[in-house]
Chain A
Amino acid sequence: MTDPISRGLLPEGFRDRLAPRAAAADRLVRTLCDRITAHGYDLVQPPLAEFEDSLIGRLSDGGAQDLLRVIDPVSQRTLAIRSDITPQAGRIAATRLAHRPRPLRLSYAGPVLSVRPPQVGAERERMQIGAELIGHDSVAAAGEILTVALEALTAAGCADLSVDLTLPSLVEELAEADWPVDNLDAVRAALDGKDHASLIAAGGAAYAPLIEAAGPAASAIPALRAAGMGAAFDRRLDAAEALTARASGLARVTVDPTERRGFEFQTWLGFSLFAGGIASEIGRGGTYIVRHPGGAEEPAIGFSLYIDGLVQAGLGRRKTRRIFLPHGTDAGVGTALRADGWVTVAALSGSDDAEANACTHIWTGEPAAL
């Protein structure tokens, strides 16, 4: 009888990350954080777990179902492990930093946990890195957030970036204005799947041009203008056009007016980020509302990146020169080599050898390649 747990079996969706991927992940986190903080986004470190109530009020319904909960033996209240750091940044902005002038720029990096594995992929623990700009959700704020995200991803080695802009509140507002429907839920479900046949069946034929318009910004924006949604919505297209111009030096831009999945918490703007060679989305963001304890509301915009796809794609790796110092090598040699960027592995006894320590070089009075 062998017990699988004694052999290191981990729960579904969790993994050990070893060399060289652990180092790559660490390097990616540092690169992304450096680029984000360089734009004035102060790093904050919220805790791994909070009172459930504090997280739930700031998450979408789906997010609330994703929380792993435990009863805190100390307070006898329900604690939850965060599934997203964004609401924690919002909480900090609305409480401890409520007195600070706006806009407030915050950044963060840390692991998050979901109870349910995603439909595609299996990870339940992910590393989230992000930035939040609190106090503004203007086109200028959106332009800054998009630029910061794309610059950081480029620095991390992502190539062939693309941004998909979406207008999360559009359908609901259109339904309240000039495009009424009997069953909004059915129409939205059909739009989520871009399911033309179900959309017609749900009585949402008016919305079909919005599915067909989705695509490259250069063709999507004119097609949406032609759809005749009304002047109030034209302003949103102007914004999409301005953001396209701002982002197009760093990424290809597509526009998808009806995308809502994962944007339940967003207001007028949402976006998803993709990179060449990585099959799934690598990050997302958008505008949202931060709620203050007194009930006041504040506009905000931000983005989150998840590095697991980047690590999987082999980004963040660096070739290291790793040199073996035979037993008895003078300590000063190692100090000088490390100062010069070498990784040194010192023999503990005469029987240690370079190969077993995965070294690329050996010290023979000078570095000699193996």
Chain B
Amino acid sequence: MLSRILLIGMVIATMAFAQRGRRSEDPSAPMPAQRDNSLDQFAGKLKLNKEQRAQAETIIDAAREAAGPVQQKLLEVRRYLAAALITGQSSEADKLTKTYTSLSAQAKTLEANAFGKICALLKPNQQSKAAQHFGLIAQAVEQGQMGGPPGGSQPGQWSGGQGGRR
């Protein structure tokens, strides 16, 4: 049992180390311009005017800040879950998936709240197209913390991001 715990600890420790290295050095880490990509796409698809775009950005920024700790926890749980599956700790993996689901719901709630606020800014003709592009808002929130898929999500895809969530 001690050996198993040691194994998991080592895997997790190194994945954590790996993350620190990546964040500081990885050239694929999102730059601010990339982070805005999803919001730009959303703005383009719904033809937001300047004022709407600025207000949406403020909403996204606030949501990013609120979502940060949850996304960090999601990433951490993902690392633990990977370690548990690699080392065959099925009961630990079961616990972690429950935690992951709870965190995923928390993060999605923040994204949904941001989406609701942005919808309130829209004109009726814009609102009709908003739901199908929720993924872009979700991604914009996620990218502020953990990066997101290059090129942004497409209609018909769910959003990426959150160090493990999509």
A binds B: no
Interface residues of chain B, those whose CB is within 8 Å of chain A, are none
